[in-house]
Structure 1
């Protein structure tokens, strides 16, 4: 694909790293403040379990033009989203090709989401090769710089390995235990999200299950483990694995789709609803893939939307976009006090 960056020169300017202004009181961050892991849940400043719901960007090397002030205004105020996942691919024409450019791009989007009172997941989108250790030095550099700029914010979570695959859980934990101290150097109490084996399936896609994580957790505190599913491909075995895992370890679904595992094809809204009901019941946070106008059915916007200026409402959305927006817009149940 052609590298396109559509946010203008200002988007690529290095951010100052200064603390952001206090979020509006009625925004997700204004209500919940700094989140942390308590037991198996993500909890707000009052120590109450909460569920965050929102969207993931597509790779910013291809679809930064879909992440604008206008689109984020719509996400925050029309969709009523709590959280944005900012996906920085490492290979595939991403970070590896120009570290400064993609660090600055991710940093600016963090600031844009922060200004709207949303939480942000900084996603180190390693994919191929599947061993996160291949990019260990790059990850150390990226997270050192990103935590310098944003470690003082109250709304940033750190996803350190998108979808490990073809690699042992021991190698994933070894990687995590090298990267987490880098993050802790500038954000001592930030929540870190650790990708699980077999494309963040808790090992299911490579013949295992959640027991490998439950029995050999990463040696760090204030962390959660990630799970990804695509409802048309990943049926009850995956759903039940997530359910069992969430009773034992802190889980966050940082990526899911209503289509097949490639984000393509027909939507399976019935299976998707089973997942959403489970995640609501167990207060498992989620971000849907993806906030772009890619040609695939999993991109929420109709093709060509990101060249225009209309973002709110349903006229610009594909079928999956309408469905996901409806489920994000349902009222949050944020307990306080």
Structure 2
């Protein structure tokens, strides 16, 4: 390392960032592919709710994630309830804008996570979600590093109800971002129905009518 050079400078000089390496990602068949059409797997971590422990998500932690851990992606979790978005929509949206910019500056992919959990019906927050994702996509829709996770863990409602929500949110995003990957929560806490006694077949039989989407699956050891 040269005199006056930081670890960030050295790593930046020696290796391309994940976004520099892979460019805009898209869904190809059942895989995520990079701008060259090659399958890619992203590795990274999620924040906790952005309303908690704000000191834990900042320059130092993002530097560690990008330059020390060599992560490809960070998931920014915007809780709606539990003292989250609904208490200060303008303030929390501004916080999300800032963190997207901070992660983008480090060459990371960003999952904008609409972290609905309780209540489990995503329609409860439908109007809030439309406002939030319209603002996020309008500001960042021209970037090549965003994923939109529109419902974290739907629960207590059928796949048909969850699908109905998705099909109302996707057009809001597409008004500003025609090709960003949208991540769709699945039944029973995004277990593809497994935790509720069904499985992925209900999604296969009745898929969301949209392109460049992926369905989320959360693995729970007990079920």
TM-score, normalising length: structure 1: 0.61
The equivalent position to 1:213 in structure 2, one of 197, 203, 214, is 203
Q: Over aligned residue pairs, what C-alpha RMSD do you find?
A: 1.2
Structure 2 Cα separation of the partners of residues 163 and 107 of structure 1 = 23
Summarize the alignment of residues 66-77 of structure 1 with structure 2, pairs less than 5 Å apart. 66-77=56-67
Aligned length: 211
Alpha-carbon distance in structure 2 between the residues aligned to 1:136 and 1:216: 21
Answer yes or no: is 1:173 the counterpart of 2:163: yes
Q: Structure 1 residues 82, 89: CA separation in 2 closer, same or farther (over 3 Å shift)?
A: same
Task: Report the Cα distance in structure 2 between the residues aligned to 1:72 and 1:56, rounded to whole angstroms.
Answer: 11
Match of 2:151 in 1: 161
Cα distance, 1:107 vs. partner? 1.2
Match of residue 87 from structure 1: 77
SS in 2 for 1:58: strand
Unmatched segments (≥5 aa) in structure 1:
1-22, 235-337
- Which of residues 23, 38, 41 is equivalent to 1:51? 41
TM-score of the superposed pair, with normalisation by structure 2 = 0.92
SS at match of 1:57: strand
Q: How far apart in 2 are the matches of 1:217 and 1:174? A: 11
1:31 and 2:21 equivalent?
A: yes
* Aligned partner of 2:126 among 136, 150, 153: 136
Instruction: Please tell me whether residue 148 in structure 1 is matched to residue 144 in structure 2.
Output: no
Shift in CA distance, 67/152, structure 1 to aligned 2, threshold 3 Å: same
What secondary structure does 2:119 align onto? coil
Query: For residues 54-99 of structure 1, what are the alpha-carbon distances to aligned partners after superposition, in whole Å with 9 as ceiling and x for unaligned?
Result: 0000001012211110110000011000000000001010000110
2:175 corresponds to 1:190: no
Shift of 1:106: 1.1
Moved over 6 A (4+): none
Residue 230 of structure 1 deviates from its aligned partner by 3.9
1:185-222 Cα distance to aligned partner (Å, 9 max, x none): 00000000000000000001111101001111101010
**Which whole-Å CA distance do the structure 2 matches of 1:60 and 1:116 have between them?**
19
Which whole-Å CA distance do the structure 2 matches of 1:125 and 1:219 have between them? Answer: 23
